[in-house]
Structure 1
Amino acid sequence: MDGTSKNDTQPIKTTTFNGWAASLVPGTAETVTASWAYGPWGTAGQRQKTHLLLPSSETEEMLHANESTVTINRPGNPLRRYDTNFIPGNKRTEDAHAVDILSKDDLEYLVTEQAPGIVRSFWERWSDVKISGGRSQVQNEVANGSKDMVMASVFDGHNDTHVLSDLLSKTVHASLAHSLGKQGQGQESIKDDATRVEAIKSRMTETYKAIEADLDAVVKLLTNGNMKTGSNPLLPDPSPLLFGLSTFMKAGSTALTALLDVEHDDLYVANASDSRCIAGWFNPSTQKWRCDTLSNDQTGDNPSEEKR
């Protein structure tokens, strides 16, 4: 940059996502250099990387490339639309998200034993009842939304792989719906708000734990050699299928779910790891926004987590 002054290249203090010290230094050309601490508690030393600054037009294109808007038309449900966006940090993003809507009346259908001769798996029934929108799509299901349950989740994949985050985006909401449906059987008479809220909170927590235990079980089967596949002589042993399953051994992901119970105007948040749920509130009298954090980061440098 022509005419760059000494002050233009002074370090800009910042932090990494986990709060460790970092800095950004504008270069004398169209570059910026990032420096950050790494290793256990940031004690292993400093790393540095220089990036070329993109033209404004390319930056704007990157920021808007994956935007999506879905509008909702379900009377009784206060949700009118939702917007999603992501910026890949890798050639193929490690992250995933999911938004699903279903009526409480459909929970029973998901878990009720079917009549003889009718065979539809749980996953087929889940596809029947969930209301999910595609890119810039207006929902076709115009129906009473006063008993809707809205589930929105984000999954931050780890270790340069999208495998686990993608799997969770397809299964966590279904698992929660199945669990809540099971819980609802025989509990229609629960009228006490406090009891109902605690029951749903407990169910979400236990479902998250069950999913993690299920994933751990797959890894243990792979590592202890007890996982057997078909004995087709045309295939080598171990089966090629195990190569696909083995990707879960190094895969990781955060998981964060917000569940809106429209009927009772309740919002629940389940969180594993350090994705964050934030609520934004607009004050029309002051014309200002306020943001409240609704989840607790599960990181080693969070004092409340260290205490826990």
Structure 2
Amino acid sequence: MRLPKTPLAVAASVGAFGAWYAYGNGQTTEIHARDPVSSAQTRSLSSTPDIAQPTAEPSKPAPVTAGHKPTRRALVVDDDQFFTGDIVGDGPLTKDTDDYGRKVLEMMTPQQATERLRKNEESILVNRGRGVVRYDIVQLPSNDPIEDDHAEKTIQVSDNVAHAGNDSSSDWMFWGVFDGHSGWTTSARLRQVLIQYAARELNATYTAALASKIASSPSPEAIDQALKLAFTKLDNEICHESVKKLGNAPSKSRASELLAPALSGSCALLSFYDSHSRNFRVACTGDSRAVLGRRNPSTGKWSATPLSEDQTGSNPNEAKRMRAEHPGEDRVVHAGRVLGNLEPTRAFGDAAYKWSRETQDRIKRHFFGRNVHPLLKTPPYVTAEPVVTTTGIEPGKGGRTGGPVVEQQNREAKKSSSTAWLTDWFKSAPTSLPVEKGGNMDKTGRVSNANDPKSKMDKPIRQEQWALPSEDNGRFVVEDKNAATHLVRNALGGKDRDMVCALLSLPSPYSRRYRDDLTVEVIFFGESEGTGDLAINQEATTNGTDSEPKAKL
């Protein structure tokens, strides 16, 4: 396998880290600023062991000498903040709350945190010689059950459909991440059928172009429209055809089965790669994000290019569109949300923003449902139609140029394991992230240009929330062979192991105050051996076996 050099990260739900986190390093006064607690009061949490005052950040467990009790880390969770400290002794906690109603629990060790991070990771090697060499996936739940979902599929396309008479076949490859909300049923439905809907519409579009004998392949606009049509047809089936299927006298259980995907909701980001055209399309409904990373072989550094823009009420383009579609409704977008409530302006399901008032009243009267939103006047307010972007991919180059450096890396990669590239890419800066300056993106996808003095450099939203400096100052680590897991670890704190362990120790529903469900997929473009199969990459898959991967032909 040759060295893959162009990864694409697709992430859903990387959000909701709104907490204040403090520990050690002179911050013990901040920890007790809200509820001063004496040592005696703190010890009343448990007969054995005790919880001591918060300490400085530990790197390794302190050695236990004769006459001293062992210690381990504790986590105390308040309404809007959490603290770390030490548990003295090796017995179990006898209470899970303190005298002030704060949640108390034992914090994971770094080893346990790593096991949690890697529990749902998977890596697939794509040995098809058509531009994609691998993709990595990981999920980390916060809700119970998780509301995110994902799907992947590779389809070998017949010669005439793919490119009108060329001799070689090609692949259509799909990756989808689905950020569910208000339940898991909508995202589960997307996992089951969205790629099927997209492949069907694309097949019809390519076949029509071939039959017309006017063009050898559809126009870019026709391909984009096929993806949009797949989204809107499926959403119509979820929200409106389901109501028609209720019939005259269905049972409540039958109504629940039919309407559940309509009553909950989900954002969707579907990526489509055509190995013949080498075009990579991203269809975005909602606020999941796709980013293309390219490595500059002359500097060894990376640049990030957004391939999607968040479709929310905070996006000026979306707010303008919605106000034009609903004239006279001043609060159609209020505080960055649809009717002041729902953040994404584009989503599957969310029928409360699509059904008429009459339909909602009828369903509530006969079955179940919420009260109709008081501002509902001219639905639908939310659409599932995606915004589609197209990016040309050059798998053989990966970056802007090739040259001797890349060739040498390719030769070295052939002699090493299939995951050696991850360490190799970052080995030049093990304590910092090698990223080209400029090009920061804020939450709505606006890009600032460092070379333009008039351009405002916006910090990423996490730097703003945590008051982190612009320079990474050694915050990043490379510890995982799965690239998606690597990204999640660093999003949760990276080198700050206390932060990572604390965020992973929080159980549902407490965790939802600080982080959302996380789903990340990383796709690597490059040259690979054309053996024709997909295989599980054991080195980056937890509990990997020789069984067939979920994504197969």
- Shorter chain as denominator, the TM-score bin is 0.5 to 0.7
Aligned residue in 2 for 1:8: none
| Structure with greater proportional strand content | 1
- Code of the residue aligned with 2:200 in structure 1: it is H
- Code of the residue aligned with 1:24 in structure 2: it is W
- % identical aligned pairs: 27
Aligned residue in 2 for 1:92: 145
Question: Quick one: structure 1 residues 289 and 216, their matched pair in 2 at CA, closer, same or farther if it must change by over 3 Å?
Answer: same
Aligned residue in 2 for 1:41: none
Distance 2:254 2:241 in 1: 13
Question: Quick one: structure 1 residues 63 and 190, their matched pair in 2 at CA, closer, same or farther if it must change by over 3 Å?
Answer: farther
Distance 1:145 1:58 in 2: 48
Corresponding residue SS for 2:149: strand
Question: Quick one: structure 1 residues 206 and 56, their matched pair in 2 at CA, closer, same or farther if it must change by over 3 Å?
Answer: same
Distance 2:244 2:268 in 1: 23
Corresponding residue SS for 2:227: helix
Question: Quick one: structure 1 residues 70 and 186, their matched pair in 2 at CA, closer, same or farther if it must change by over 3 Å?
Answer: same
Question: Quick one: structure 1 residues 275 and 59, their matched pair in 2 at CA, closer, same or farther if it must change by over 3 Å?
Answer: same
Aligned residue in 2 for 1:251: 264
Distance 2:310 2:134 in 1: 27
Structure 2 length as normaliser, TM-score? 0.38
Q: Which runs of 5+ in 2 are unaligned?
A: 1-13, 24-30, 32-53, 55-73, 82-101, 322-553
1:227 Cα deviation after fit: 1.9
Report if the CA contact (8 A) 1:22-1:34 is conserved: no
Question: Quick one: structure 1 residues 246 and 256, their matched pair in 2 at CA, closer, same or farther if it must change by over 3 Å?
Answer: same
Deviations 1:208-254 (A, max 9, x none): 111111111145337xxx5258xxxxxxx627433322323421111
Given the alignment of the two structures, is residue 149 of structure 1 paired with residue 172 of structure 2, yes or no?
yes
Q: Which runs of 5+ in 1 are unaligned?
A: 1-15, 37-48, 110-143, 230-236
Corresponding residue SS for 2:229: helix
- Code of the residue aligned with 2:310 in structure 1: it is D
Aligned residue in 2 for 1:83: 136
Report if the CA contact (8 A) 2:154-2:172 is conserved: yes
Corresponding residue SS for 1:164: helix
Report if the CA contact (8 A) 1:107-1:178 is conserved: no
1:50 Cα deviation after fit: 6.7
1:201 Cα deviation after fit: 0.7
- Code of the residue aligned with 1:64 in structure 2: it is R
Off by >4 Å, runs of 4+ in structure 1:
49-53, 106-109
Aligned residue in 1 for 2:392: none
Report if the CA contact (8 A) 2:287-2:310 is conserved: yes
Aligned residue in 2 for 1:56: 110
Give RMSD over aligned pairs: 3.1
Given the alignment of the two structures, is residue 296 of structure 1 paired with residue 347 of structure 2, yes or no?
no
1:60 Cα deviation after fit: 1.0
1:158 to 159, 181, 198: 181
1:307 Cα deviation after fit: 2.2
1:280 Cα deviation after fit: 1.5
Aligned residue in 2 for 1:70: 124
1:302 Cα deviation after fit: 1.6
- Code of the residue aligned with 2:136 in structure 1: it is D
Corresponding residue SS for 1:66: coil
Higher relative contact order (CA 8 A, sep 6+): 2
Report if the CA contact (8 A) 1:272-1:298 is conserved: yes
Report if the CA contact (8 A) 1:219-1:248 is conserved: no
Distance 1:288 1:106 in 2: 39
Question: Quick one: structure 1 residues 51 and 156, their matched pair in 2 at CA, closer, same or farther if it must change by over 3 Å?
Answer: farther
Report if the CA contact (8 A) 1:146-1:262 is conserved: no
Aligned residue in 1 for 2:244: 221
- Code of the residue aligned with 1:65 in structure 2: it is K
- Code of the residue aligned with 1:245 in structure 2: it is L
